[in-house]
Structure 1
Amino acid sequence: MWYDILLIAYYVLVTVIAIGILMENRNPMKTAGWVLVIYLVPVGGLVFYLMFGQNHRKRKLFSRKGVRDNIWVREWEDKLMKSIREVEDVASNFLEEKLKVVKVLYNSDKSIITFRNKPTLLRNGEEAFPEMLKCITEATHHIHVEYYIVEDDEVGRKFRDALIDKAKRGVEVRFIYDDVGSSGLKKRFLKPMQEAGIEVRPFMPVLFPILTSRANYRDHRKILIIDGKVGFLGGINLSFRYTNDIERGRHWRDTHLKIEGDAVKSLQMNFFLMWKFVTEHDPEINPHYFPETDVEDVSLMQIAASGPDSDWSNIMGAFFAAINSAREEVLITTPYLIPNDEILLAIQTAALSGVKVKIILPAKSDNRVVQAAVLSYVKQLLSAGVEVYLYEKGFIHAKTMVVDDRLCTVGTSNMDYRSFDINFEINAMMYDPEVTEQLRNDFYTDLKECRQITLERWERRVWRRRISESLARLVAPLL
């Protein structure tokens, strides 16, 4: 009797959830798939949907209103705000079809295009870490840190000790770490920071991080801001694994970006949005956090921030518009290429239209299942004329894209489902021929350490590998 009552109650609940799925008017195939899963897989299917199938953007984690309404943020935005028509007047001849990317980010997230910037590419941890530490030692007012992975190792402790030293000298230090990505951090690492006066906050603490390491919302950003004048972002976390230890035969290829100028203010605003969430209070913001820049270089840049707190997949939309704007060349480097249908179609269409499209992927990944899912897309890419290369010198973790001669991006976003729809990510979109050429040169330098995949050889792979890749692709949205 009780079993019958529970069974009826369960299917009533499932029916209500199924109606909710239908009312969201998502992709018909996805809708049908989720409805079948929750009906045909009792309990497990429902749990699976609740963990991974919900429409994240309709369940915003926090409001942006408090920070955007701050008087100093409004003053900065009003001062730098360029209407789309003004941007067209100033830069349309230079940007040409790339203006579409500017408009996408402006209309989807009010991301302001800034003109006075000085971007510097940093290759691998051996270039990034010394420059970041140098800027930390030069801080006079505040240091803001927001990182997915911080480890209690040689690199992590070096940064911690540098932050402690500045805090003891009166510099404000705010520190956000992701509770899953940095699950190895213990009190012995964090306590000295707190005792020195550093404000330390975890992003969305979880009880069992091992069980949720690939699930739910995570703060995948890597941001460092010094005095509101200098900022860093990119693929490099605060961990020893991001250095290159020649004695151990390990090579980790990555790209980071140092920014000086007005674009740092966009980084600052996004940091304060996250700070508001982790502290549950509106931050006290004053002009010291948005100082006047003394940069005179002209380099057009937008900061693209994305996460389940926004109505649109901002970074994915920018990537989509950028690829579609290509006339001659698209160069993509990513460790995790698990694209949604929109990005996959954009890449294929670009190649089919005659645009030279080249993609560098790691020959060996840090996750076998993820690597299998990535490789499941290779045939579709090759069939469309995309050139696919596997980086063999070590693990390539850089997240970059070059489009023609005046658009490139460096940031934290992978080309996968999680980066586009679930995780909090941040990228710099740069409309600058000089830095674009530098990133293009880096791509072709990395190409020397790659082997190209051909469609003929790819189709001769053993069936066991093909099956494992197809199975991994079934769970691709979760990886």
Structure 2
Amino acid sequence: MLEWFARNWFISLLIINYVVALSAAFFLLRNNQNPRKTLSSLLFLVAFPFIGLVIYYFFGLEYRKSKIFKRKDINSHDLIKKWNDRLFISDKELEDFDDDFLEDRVKMVKLLRHNDSAPLTRRNDLTLLINGKKTFESIFKDLDQATDHIHLEYFIIQDDVIGNKIIDKLVGAAQRGVEVKLIYDSVGSNLSGKARRRMRAVGIELNSFMPVIFSNFTRKANYRNHRKIIVIDGHIGYLGGVNISDDYVNTGERGKMYWRDTHLRIEGHAVKSLQSQWLLNWFFVSKNDNLPIKESYFPEIDENIGAAVQIAASGPDTDWANIMEAIFSAITTAEHSIRITTPYFIPNEAILTALKSASRSGIDVHILVPETGDSWAARYASRSYFEEILRSGARVSWYCKGMLHAKTMVVDDKFATVGTSNMDYRSFDINFEINALIYDDDIAQQLNVQFEKDLESSQEIILDRWAERSKVDKFKESFCRLWAPLL
């Protein structure tokens, strides 16, 4: 027997491959995942020996609700529970708001509150930050004024020019006695040993999220921490699309792609929700659920009545796809307009059906995506959805000036969301993401103004001309769409 295997080593490996593949297929079927994702995974397991197993390992495994991401209850800590209880608004109070600022968004508020204990907060001063320059200027100013703590959580932090400026600010804060803690994603970030040693030397605590050995090889590995969060002294917070990298600063340097992004500064009670979500991941990366929580993490805030904000967080540790469900709810309750800006438009069936139904019912749906983007596969996968979206009556435009990385949506000029979640499978189901849901006319109007400004650098896709694109392009789109649930 062993001699036969030695003489027929390739067939032997093939047999082993399919034995393992059958085990994986059994796991996929038993796990009752999304049918399209299951079929895509099964296709590659069967059609591509060896390679299919690698693809499945990095893209197909589903850890939601597993021991790896055991949910850490934010209410298990008395201090967090106390602030959540104080921030929660009763069902009766929500109904009273129905004719005020929430109108028909009450169901969305309840949805997130029941899904993820996400309270609606009303006392928030919001500042919309367009592109990296304004974002970093604002962050630098707030870091310089920090007095108690600075908590950061980033998908990408590089020790390049802008990264070292941030590190300088963090080191300076630590030297004047401010507590500084940093979570960085092991795959997305590229912090040198020198930079890490420099921070640790002044007392900065930093932990990598799910460390990997070969980060370049696992560039698209599953379950990455795609969030961008800063919490300063418990009452100032940041989230949005801007990572800490020179790529996000438009210096005009030759060969550098123009980067269009949107970030949000929050001052007020919603920062407490950001703080809670940051603490959850800090417990996870430090492997300690019993770390002390200082009173100063949740300070008293005497803000005047301001914008209403709800923080939606999702990831493989949550029981529900919170951000996707919130977006779905916003789309299905829209009355006259939906404006979406996203770098990757690879919607699941629920979002795709909701958008097409909204458009066919007379709602003005307009989707803005980058013309080229930074991923060949994602670009063609996105384009595969254009024709059916256009045929439903929706509008799609290409941003031609550079990389459009903003992740925003405005519905009916009254509701908006800004955050880290793309309009794709990976953000909805796999990565750790965080968005601010904003019930405020002023922010919605500011985002609408920016949307119109972005359209000045865009080209609308016309259905008749789009339908005449080459067969080669259509094949690329169809091929990449097969990968859509795995991208």
Interval containing the TM-score (normalised by the shorter chain): over 0.9
Code of the residue aligned with 1:425 in structure 2: it is E
Alpha-carbon separation, structure 1, partners of 2:328 and 2:14: 45
Using a 3 Å threshold, how does the CA distance of structure 1 residues 457 and 308 change in structure 2: closer, same or farther?
A: same
Identify unmatched segments of 5+ residues in structure 2. 6-10
Tell me what 1:209 maps to.
215
Match of 1:352 in 2: 360
TM-score by length of structure 2 reads: 0.93
Count of residue correspondences: 478
Partner of 2:8: none
Q: Give the C-alpha shift of residue 8 in structure 1.
A: 7.2
Amino acid of the structure 2 residue aligned with 1:57 = R
Quick one: structure 1 residues 295 and 451, their matched pair in 2 at CA, closer, same or farther if it must change by over 3 Å?
A: same
Where does 1:276-425 land on structure 2 (aligned, <5 Å)? 276-282=283-289, 283-425=291-433
State the Cα distance separating 1:15 from its structure 2 match: 4.3
Equivalent AA in structure 1 for residue 65 of structure 2: K
**1-side partners of 2:104 and 2:437: how far apart?**
15
- Which of 227, 232, 236 is 1:226 aligned to? 232
Give the equivalent residue in structure 1 for 2:277: 270
Residue 240 of structure 1 is matched in structure 2 by 246
Q: Is 2:130–2:262's contact at 8 Å kept on the other side of the alignment?
A: yes
Take 2:23 and 2:480, find their aligned partners in 1: how far apart are those partners? Answer: 30
Change (3 A) 1:47 1:139: same
Percent identity, please: 48
Deviation at 1:298, TM superposition (A): 2.2
Q: CA deviation at 1:40?
A: 5.3
State the secondary structure of the residue aligned to 2:398: strand
| Distance in 1 of aligned mates of 2:307 and 2:293 | 27
CA distance in 2, matches of 1:395, 1:6: 43
Q: Does residue 120 of structure 2 align to residue 123 of structure 1?
A: no
* Residue of 422, 433, 445 corresponding to 1:437: 445
Q: 1:48 aligns with which of 55, 66, 70?
A: 55
Is residue 196 of structure 1 aligned with residue 183 of structure 2? no
Could you say what secondary structure the match of 1:176 adopts? Answer: strand
Task: For residue 70 of structure 1, report the CA deviation from its aligned partner.
Answer: 0.8
Matched, 1:149 2:163: no
- Structure 2 counterpart of 1:175: 182
Checking the alignment, whether the CA contact within 8 Å between 2:121 and 2:269 is kept in structure 1 is: yes
Q: 1:62 to 1:53 in 2, by over 3 A?
A: closer
Partners of 1:215 and 1:478 within 8 A in 2 = no
Read off the aligned partner of 1:107 and give its amino acid letter: H
CA contact (8 A) 1:56 1:421 kept: no
Superposition deviation, residue 64 in structure 1: 3.9
How far the C-alpha of 1:316 sits from its partner, in A, is 0.5
Quickly say closer, same or farther: Cα 1:37–1:461, change in 2 above 3 A.
Answer: closer
Matches within 5 A, 1:439-454: 439-454=447-462
1:475 counterpart = 2:483? yes
**Match of 1:161, as an amino acid?**
D
- Deviation by residue 1:128-149 (Cα, 9 ceiling, x = unmatched): 1011010000000000011111
Give yes or no for contact 1:376–1:473 (8 Å, CA) kept in 2: yes
Instruction: Confirm or deny: 8 A CA contact 1:324 1:350 kept in the other structure.
Output: yes
Which position in structure 2 is the counterpart of 1:110?
117
What TM-score do you get using the length of structure 1 for normalisation? 0.95
